[in-house]
Structure 1
Amino acid sequence: MPGGAEARTQYLEGRKMSTLLAKPTPAEPEWWKTSVVYQIYPRSFFDSNGDGIGDLNGITMKLDYLKKLGVGVVWLSPVYDSPNYDNGYDIRNYTKIMDEFGTMEDFDNLLKGLHERKIKLIMDLVVNHTSDEHDWFVQSKSSKDNPYRDFYHWAPPKDGKPPTQWGACFGGSTWTYDIITGQYYLHTFTEKQPDLKWENPAVRNEVYKLMRWWLDKGIDGFRMDVINFISKAPGYPEGARHPNSEFTDGSPYFINGPKIHEYLQEMNEKVLRHYDIMSVGETPDATVYDAELFTFPERKELNMIFTFEHMNLDGGKWTPKLLELTDLKHHFTLWQKDLWGKGWNSLYWNNHDQPRIVSRFGNDSNYRVESAKMLATCLHFLCGTPYIYQGEEIGMTNVRFQTLADYRDIETINFHDDAVKAGRMSMEEILAAIYAKSRDNGRTPIQWTAKEPYAGFTNGHETKVPWIGVNDNYIDINVEQALDDPNSIFYYYQKLIQLRKQMSVITYGKYEILYESHTHLYMYKRYDNDGEVYVCCNFSQQPIEIDDQKLIDILNSGKIVISNYSDPKYLRFRAYEAYVIEVKNTK
């Protein structure tokens, strides 16, 4: 387990304590437990000024759309001043808005508009690293005795080479040589994103200061980017050699490091506990055991984390394979059972770093609508806080650009270049991997209408094209069409959001898996003292019939809560069919 024996001991103590202290149904539930979060990737949401780039005013213009959907929280991907090497995740100034997105006044208007519609706002907090153009780093690299030198990780060469051979997350080395001072600086992502040295208390104090600055402005919390990267192992131990690579795996020494929980508890003490907010940490490689450490309330760290486990079940980042449904069921069951009444789950299929789920686990051709609704059903009845990524609510799909020049994602471009250099994949294999897994699949502009060029994303089509191409299928898949169709995916999501507000069993009920070994059906029930809710989903296009008269009798005693076909026949499933049955206790 990452974090070593000490973290394991903490985990066991936490489990013992959680059994005694868990309170799954508080009298006044935290607002984020009954909310549904909508993630906005501003660059691709709506362009209000015709420059081809989505902006803050564009979001403000579409707030009534979000209100109609019914979401309670918006998570806004980075809008801070940035050179934009990694689409805003390389921050140059934490208290200034990126010029392309607008001004601080525009931000204030957006925040006001959200709050007027009873929608809360959480911001991306990117503090594992900054841009190499941030003033802290500019000063840090100017000389070894600069006061900001210790804000970043610097180390001398080792036998004329980098301090370690760690491979960076986006390819290449984690170390870049600075000729001015004759040392290397650490960057777990790109060389334009140097890692902050959290071991320095001055760094932590600056981070807490900027967090309070935004919270005092009135925002409602943070999504914390790769927050479990912030603690590095002392001495930078060498990692194990990656197969077929010149680099080693340094992740055991910069993910879930030795002081990660100490830092988060300090953050909670100095910032988070003083505001009525939500916090969610992006935590690659975190297991359910780590999740208990991060989210068990008595430990006073975070409200919830994003796990990546279920997003790795269909192959490696660039080596896709078909999903085995039993693997997905095993993952969800483990997290549902082990965190219930202790920590808290986040629930998601899509985000700005993931391909579109209907193209991934569903069927984006013949059964796009049915499979999109089925996937939404499966996720939204689980215990936790659901996240919807922009466009998911209308069933947007992956994109297939014809040339590499059409892609904008630095991770995708680096993969292509490295794969070509290594010569181990054909161009056909490289493109197939990109079509399946590129982050740009989730970053194409929102498809608002079929009636205007570029799907109505920008009104500047006579002089400007969007920063990234629009998916050609916007003619058939767009918001306008979805709003005109009462049976659309949009209205299905709207109902799911309403049900979460109405049915406490969705928030606090226990979970039990049914037909665990079935390779095409995912069925589970949620239950509390008032009754049971049965969630039944066919993850395949083939018809399936289950002979279980006892369960059929139970389902017949209940009522349909939601279904993606108009006339479900219990345990006789059509392609990608999903339905939910509520059975009330009569005792």
Structure 2
Amino acid sequence: MDSFLRVDPQHLTTSPSSSSFLTDEVASLCPLITPSPPTNAFVDPLQEHSEANNYTISHELATKLQQIGSSDEEKAESASSSSSALAEPACTQLLNHRNIYHNIANGEENHQSEVTNEKDQPLQLTFRNPPDNYFFMSWNWPLIRRISMWMFLSGLVAMVALVAAMIATLPKTCNPPTFWYQGNLLYEIFPASFYSRDQNMEGDFKGIAFKADYIKKLGARGVRLNSIFESNNYPHDFENVTSLTEIAKPLGSLRDFGGMVKRLNFMNISVILDLPIYPFVKKLAKRKESNKSESSSGPTVEFLRKARDDQLDAIEDAILFWTSNGVEGFYLKGLEYLSNDPNLANSLRRWKKILGENRAIIVSEHFINAVPQNLKQIVYNNVDLVDVKLHLESGATEVSKVINSLQNSTLFTTPGMPWVHWSLGNANSDRLANVLPYGNGTLGATLLQLMLPGTPSVFYGDELGIQQISDHQGEKQDIKHLHQLTMMPWPNQKMKMLPWIHGDDEVVGRYEQMEVISKMVALREQSPSIYMNSVYKQGGTKANAEVKYAQKQFLVVQRWYPRRKQYVVACNLGTKRLTTDLSTILYSGDVVVGPRPDSKYGAISFKDISLWPGESVVVVLK
């Protein structure tokens, strides 16, 4: 310690050289970091110095050293401070000027008393000044901060937009998916009787395209056209077709057909054709086997076998032709006459393979019942819809038996089975308004039909309750088979029968019924409880329809689906007003559709429910 610091009294009164110390401005910029490399004896006190070197201290430091007292009390305090200062780090000691100066004073006194001949060496404190211009210090930090802020905000906005887009694209409902022909309404049309732009001619393809808005408003997802094929006297003998690819001339050309398909597809409506297989096959069989007698099943079987062997399957050719022109489904009519054909299974496989899953094959219930047991599974795997005609005139008890028997049949065993295609009228049966003996029976019957599990089909005009041609005096026996093909009436258009289906009766339609049916179709599309034919669960199916009540011509059917609302339709299929107490099987609900076009919807009590003949009411249960 004796050689650590030395103060020469000679220099206490003189001013040191200005070049010996750093200025206050430079010193303030220097961080308190040990300089590298060390440059003075303060860091390395053992370093030998040349005797020629003579260090001085500043006048300010000399003045402070002179003011330090030497009393015993001050010495004790100085000793204590010195010991604590020595224990502190060097950077702390440098900041604590009082301790440093005090130590210097004490050290100087001791050194003067012991060593008097050695030269005094004043203290010099020097530090390396770090460079001011590091490369990042020259950056434009205000601009960098602004860019960083905008990048952060942009990223935040992008994330919010992404989340919003994901939410917007999420499906609004999680209803079970189905193909377009499953559960949706199909509308059956006889083209020659639907609409004619020229009232002196038959209806045609252009007329159907012109009325596409009406079909869309009704809620139909598919249009099924009865026979459109060439015959010797179309439309009077529309079933006796001579070709499965040539169009009957009164309906228009293939170009007109394509325009109609395009217009309907624009409305999200698919086109289905009735393909009269048996009449066509029968004609070709006669042509091929003119020397053989025709039996109930003989020539048709022989024809199909030869057609396969010669690769001249006319039905396959027709399917390929019409699918290339936009058709998305076929009703294969007359297949029940081919049920014993050994090539039927292979033919169905080929036809379905051509169509694929998104196109439909419809067959009749009679065909399903006529197919041999060993071929039924093949038929089920290659058929999409089974047409079942419901005879409401038979009463509530019989209708309930049909519904229960179908739900307990093979059609409801697995998800891959065909759906039921419900129909109340068609081109070969009497009009629904003539079958049901009450004024508004067609509305009630259609509401019941739209509440059944499967795919409903409405024959044109039944939604308006039109009747067939009346023939009280038997003057129209030549067109007796066409009486149900009444010309479709349209609002603000008075039209009598067209010349091809002569008559004097004016066709009247109840257009207010159409609004109720349209509302029911919309409800059906939104509710899996109604449009689904069953509940798919664990690889099997479970019926989601039940006949709750069927007595005294009063029919009640309930529909449900897991985690969805339950619905009930109550129908009066009798000829007089009926009042029934259903409080033991049902609680309460709200009327959503029916029973009349002018009905007000609201709560309903099952304690005392009353309906007029032909009325139906749809209720959502609470």
Task: Please state which band the TM-score falls in when normalised by the shorter chain.
Answer: 0.5 to 0.7
- Residue of structure 2 equivalent to 1:226: 334
Query: For residues 482-521 of structure 1, what are the structure 2 equivalents within 5 Å?
Result: 482=511, 488-508=512-532, 509=534, 510-516=544-550, 518-521=551-554
Deviations 1:471-500 (A, max 9, x none): 7252xx23xx61xxxxx1111111121112
SS of 2:352 mapped into structure 1: helix
Distance 1:280 1:115 in 2: 20
Distance change >3 Å, CA 386–CA 523, structure 1 → 2: same
Query: For residues 177-196 of structure 1, what are the structure 2 equivalents within 5 Å?
Result: none
* Alignment partner of 1:391 out of 458, 461, 484: 461
Q: What amino acid maps onto 1:265 in structure 2? A: R
Cα deviation for residue 258 of structure 1 reads: 5.5
Query: For residues 271-420 of structure 1, what are the structure 2 equivalents within 5 Å?
Result: 271-273=354-356, 276-284=358-366, 286-287=368-369, 299-308=380-389, 310-311=390-391, 323-338=394-409, 339-340=411-412, 341=415, 342-363=417-438, 368-369=439-440, 371-409=441-479, 412=480
Distance 2:503 2:432 in 1: 18
Distance 2:503 2:208 in 1: 18
Task: Say whether the 8 Å CA contact 1:278–1:303 is kept in structure 2.
Answer: yes
Deviations 1:437-494 (A, max 9, x none): xx4342111122475341xx7xxxxxxx4211357252xx23xx61xxxxx1111111
- Residue of structure 1 equivalent to 2:305: 199
Distance change >3 Å, CA 203–CA 326, structure 1 → 2: farther
* Alignment partner of 2:572 out of 518, 527, 538: 538
Deviations 1:173-210 (A, max 9, x none): x9xxxxxxxxxx958xxxxxxx9821221476332122
Distance 1:163 1:440 in 2: 27
Distance change >3 Å, CA 36–CA 471, structure 1 → 2: farther
1:582 aligns with 2:613: no
Distance change >3 Å, CA 582–CA 280, structure 1 → 2: same
* Alignment partner of 1:29 out of 171, 178, 181: 178
1:561 aligns with 2:597: no
Distance 1:349 1:298 in 2: 24
Distance 1:467 1:544 in 2: 43
Give structure 2 stretches of 5+ with no counterpart.
1-173, 535-543
Cα deviation for residue 284 of structure 1 reads: 3.0
Give structure 1 stretches of 5+ with no counterpart.
1-24, 142-148, 157-161, 167-173, 175-184, 188-194, 233-256, 315-322, 413-438, 458-464, 483-487
Distance 1:292 1:337 in 2: 20
Cα deviation for residue 376 of structure 1 reads: 1.0
Cα deviation for residue 302 of structure 1 reads: 0.8
Q: What amino acid maps onto 2:436 in structure 1? A: F
- Residue of structure 1 equivalent to 2:556: 523
Deviations 1:557-582 (A, max 9, x none): x3322121425653422213321222
Task: Say whether the 8 Å CA contact 1:292–1:343 is kept in structure 2.
Answer: no
SS of 2:336 mapped into structure 1: helix
Distance change >3 Å, CA 154–CA 526, structure 1 → 2: farther
Whichever of the two has the greater Rg, that structure is: 2
SS of 2:560 mapped into structure 1: strand
Task: Say whether the 8 Å CA contact 2:183–2:456 is kept in structure 1.
Answer: no
Distance 2:262 2:304 in 1: 33
SS of 1:222 mapped into structure 2: strand
Q: What amino acid maps onto 2:570 in structure 1? A: C
* Alignment partner of 2:249 out of 91, 99, 108: 99
Distance change >3 Å, CA 396–CA 543, structure 1 → 2: same
1:265 aligns with 2:356: no
Aligned residues: 424
SS of 2:443 mapped into structure 1: helix
Cα deviation for residue 64 of structure 1 reads: 1.4
Distance 1:113 1:125 in 2: 22
Distance 2:485 2:567 in 1: 35
Distance change >3 Å, CA 87–CA 451, structure 1 → 2: same
Q: What amino acid maps onto 1:515 in structure 2? A: Y
- Residue of structure 1 equivalent to 2:34: none
SS of 1:112 mapped into structure 2: helix
Task: Say whether the 8 Å CA contact 2:556–2:570 is kept in structure 1.
Answer: yes
Distance change >3 Å, CA 451–CA 207, structure 1 → 2: closer
Distance 2:281 2:616 in 1: 45
- Residue of structure 2 equivalent to 1:212: 320
Q: What amino acid maps onto 2:403 in structure 1? A: F
Cα deviation for residue 263 of structure 1 reads: 3.1
Distance 1:92 1:522 in 2: 45
Distance change >3 Å, CA 350–CA 447, structure 1 → 2: same
Cα deviation for residue 127 of structure 1 reads: 1.9
Q: What do you get for the CA RMSD once the two structures are aligned?
A: 3.2
1:47 aligns with 2:71: no
Q: What amino acid maps onto 2:429 in structure 1? A: Q
TM-score, normalised to structure 1, is 0.65
Distance change >3 Å, CA 407–CA 390, structure 1 → 2: farther
- Residue of structure 1 equivalent to 2:99: none
Distance 1:289 1:496 in 2: 36
Task: Say whether the 8 Å CA contact 1:381–1:535 is kept in structure 2.
Answer: yes
Distance change >3 Å, CA 71–CA 292, structure 1 → 2: farther
Distance change >3 Å, CA 443–CA 226, structure 1 → 2: same
1:547 aligns with 2:581: yes
Task: Say whether the 8 Å CA contact 1:297–1:343 is kept in structure 2.
Answer: no
Q: What amino acid maps onto 1:304 in structure 2? A: L
Cα deviation for residue 301 of structure 1 reads: 1.4
Cα deviation for residue 399 of structure 1 reads: 2.9
* Alignment partner of 1:68 out of 211, 217, 233: 217
Distance 1:290 1:573 in 2: 46
- Residue of structure 1 equivalent to 2:7: none
- Residue of structure 2 equivalent to 1:125: 275
Distance 1:559 1:288 in 2: 44
Cα deviation for residue 278 of structure 1 reads: 1.4
Cα deviation for residue 307 of structure 1 reads: 3.1
Distance 2:371 2:477 in 1: 37
Distance 1:290 1:345 in 2: 20
Task: Say whether the 8 Å CA contact 1:44–1:444 is kept in structure 2.
Answer: yes
Q: What amino acid maps onto 2:305 in structure 1? A: E
Which has the higher relative contact order, 1 or 2, with Cα contacts under 8 A spaced 6 or more apart? 1
Task: Say whether the 8 Å CA contact 2:348–2:379 is kept in structure 1.
Answer: no
Cα deviation for residue 282 of structure 1 reads: 3.0
Task: Say whether the 8 Å CA contact 2:179–2:358 is kept in structure 1.
Answer: no
Distance 2:361 2:262 in 1: 21
SS of 2:366 mapped into structure 1: coil
Q: What amino acid maps onto 1:278 in structure 2? A: A
Q: What amino acid maps onto 2:206 in structure 1? A: N
Distance 2:217 2:379 in 1: 37
Task: Say whether the 8 Å CA contact 1:362–1:372 is kept in structure 2.
Answer: no
Distance 1:501 1:290 in 2: 36
- Residue of structure 1 equivalent to 2:487: 445
Task: Say whether the 8 Å CA contact 1:198–1:204 is kept in structure 2.
Answer: no
Distance change >3 Å, CA 374–CA 493, structure 1 → 2: same
